[in-house]
Amino acid sequence: MKEFQKLKEEQFSYLEDVRKFEALVGLMNRSGIDLLEKSLATSSYLVEADGLAKQLQNPNISLSVVAEVANGKSTFLNALIFKDQVLHSGAGAVTARLFKVDYGEKYTLTIDNRTTNYRNIESLKKSAEKLNEETRRKMDTEKKVSENDVKEVHITLPHQALKEGITIYDTPGFGSLDELLVIPLITEAVAKSDAVIMLLDIAQGFKKGEDKFVRDVLKSIPADKRFIVFNKIDGVISED
């Protein structure tokens, strides 16, 4: 009987994971996102994906997005998940830390085990923006930037999309930031995620920095966990 119960629990876990991926694909399709790669080899994932048991401890769909600096990563997440300007984005906006964003009844920001409550999303965004600017300035001006300067920031928002069961990892952009600090943060987010979106700026082509990043960081990610999205495709589509 114990063996039967164990088998039943394992089967339930597998089905739950399939549900996660189906929900993610449905979300992306409803948002009109064009995918270069959308491979969900379910049977392969159940057998081969690393960290399956750990991921399933979290009932949410964990999604991370990685991209080169200033490739519109936060703008993409705003369009895909929130349908609004929730994450700091726009000209000059650079994500210099790893931000974990999930549901909470209040607007909060936690760093170094210290939590701050905010009245609204705008005041929270200002604090997150200030953290980004301080971190970016240190990376640009100081020779030594420690891991303490780029610790994960946990944000909770009372947003319906997050309440439905989505955890987002908004990763620091790679390319012009301190990659000795940035790459481990991105790798950490990837390891925690059920799916990873690689955002490429098609208007600029596949650059050397992006190629190196794909090889060094994403080559170990199973195909059923990896999505590649072309951003700014409207800039290269011919009117003809």
Neighbours of 212 (CB within 10 A): 13
Total domains present in the chain: 1
Q: For residues 177 and 4, what is the distance between their CA atoms, to the nearest angstrom?
A: 52
110: part of which helix (H) or strand (E)? Answer: strand 107-111
Residue 39 domain flag: yes
Model-level pTM? Answer: 0.67
Pair type for strands 195-201 and 61-67: parallel
Residue 91 domain flag: yes
* pLDDT tens per residue across all 240 residues of the chain: 345 345 445 544 555 665 566 566 555 555 554 444 443 333 333 323 444 444 555 667 888 888 777 667 777 777 777 666 666 654 444 566 788 889 999 999 998 889 999 999 889 888 888 887 777 777 666 656 666 666 788 999 998 888 888 898 888 777 655 666 777 777 788 888 888 888 777 666 655 655 666 676 666 566 778 887 776 655 555 555
Q: Which residues contact 164 (CB under 8 A, 6 or more apart)?
A: none
Residue 104 domain flag: yes
Residue 53 domain flag: yes
Across 164-195, b (16+ Cβ under 10 Å) vs e yields ebbbbbbbbbbbebbbebbbebbbebbbbbbb
* ∠ CA 88-92-96, rounded to 5°: 60
Residue 240 domain flag: no
Residue 134 domain flag: yes
Q: For residues 50 and 47, what is the distance between their CA atoms, to the nearest angstrom?
A: 9
* Domain that residue 225 falls in: 2-235
CATH number of the domain to which 28 belongs:
3.40.50
Residue 27 domain flag: yes
